[in-house]
Amino acid sequence: MWQVGLCVVAVVTILISQWLYKWRNPKSNGVLPPGSMGLPFIGETLQLLIPNHSLDLHPFIKKRIEKYGRVFSTNLVGRPMVITADPKLNNYLFQQEGKEVELWYLDTFEKVFRLEGEARPNAVGRIHKYLRGTFLTLFGVDSLRTKLLSEIETTVRTNIHRWSTQGTIDAKKEAANMIAVFAAKNLFGHDFEKSSDVITDTIAGFVQGLMSFPLNIPGTRFYKCMKDKDKLEKVIRAMLKERIACPEEKKGDFLDRAVKDLNTDFFLTENFILSIIVGALFATVESISTAIALSFKLFAEHPWVVEDLVAEHDILLKNRENKESPLTWDEYKSMTVTMHVINEVLRLGNVAPGILRKTLKDINYNGIRSLVLKSKP
């Protein structure tokens, strides 16, 4: 009898070994870069999720570059992929946008924002054109010059004054709250004097959960993310119902435009409007708050940059008749040092987390033996 049991164990061991081998060595018609698929199902996700408190390459990337080279294969959140730190290959891929590659988002983002069909960020259909045109109208240069610049200055002044009265602040959290208030007001006219703490905390939990493993079971960060998303949508849906019931009450935000177009554009539905607003909240809050927090860190490490900024702003103040007057468009355009600093912060920081490229067809780079990136079937 023990011989039968031993035989069963041997067969199971062989099958598991074969399965693990197939997992670590996926089939390919071409020559894939060296690398590892990690553990079954989760791949090498856990190593990548370890926080990195440096502007240098993440340790996950550095270790694999040292081991495999600047282009290597891996598996993240259950998806096999190729990571490249080769400047020439990266430049080539950027040139092939829309031809051989397209934007691709982690499963977490697709589940939350329903990124499919023409609603994808890289879509070129009517929906994408509508969204681009609408957001450029509401938040583009013309709107910045006539309306948003003064609103931004007021918001920043108010928050900086509040921060100055505190001993210490969490720069990322406080910046995220500030941006959330501003974005929510301009997207769906939310009154934060009534429920600011509730909404900002919900947005914060939602944003943090988006960068987690997409495991939607109680106790996980992604589960909390989905719950926070439901809370946000409940608030926004209530305001959407109010606008539909009283369309004559205009606030000049995105929701006004969406309600106006609700019955004229076939693709606009209440659920789709909610997804647009929630997605715009995430994109705005996460990217800008990350850049602001990074700028604080860099200012502390490079005090001479702060001195140059102060000198430029002092010149603007000296040229004003009224020192307390709001920032003008001409003054904004004249701040060359400030613009250079902003561009450098954006260059150093990754303010668009989780954005990848998916190949639309097989890519041969630098010869057949060097690299083939396989497209998804």
Percent of the chain with pLDDT over 70: 73
What does the pLDDT read at residue 120?
52
How many residues in total does the chain contain? 377
231-259, pLDDT tens digit by residue?
888 888 888 888 888 877 777 888 888 88
Better-predicted residue by pLDDT, 291 or 191: 291
Q: Which DSSP string corresponds to 132-189?
A: HHHHHHHHSHHHIIIIIHHHHHHHHHHHHHHHHTSS---HHHHHHHHHHHHHHHHHH-
Token pair of 136 as six digits: 């450029």
Q: Are 282 and 233 in contact (CB under 8 A)?
A: no
pLDDT value at 153 more than 80: yes
Domains of the chain (ranges; CATH) run 28-106+355-373 (no CATH), 126-301 (1.10.630.10), 303-343 (no CATH)
What does the pLDDT read at residue 51?
67
320-359, pLDDT tens digit by residue?
888 888 889 999 999 999 999 999 998 887 666 555 777 7
Which pTM was predicted?
A: 0.74
Task: Give helix 171-188 / helix 254-261 axis angle, nearest 10°.
Answer: 40
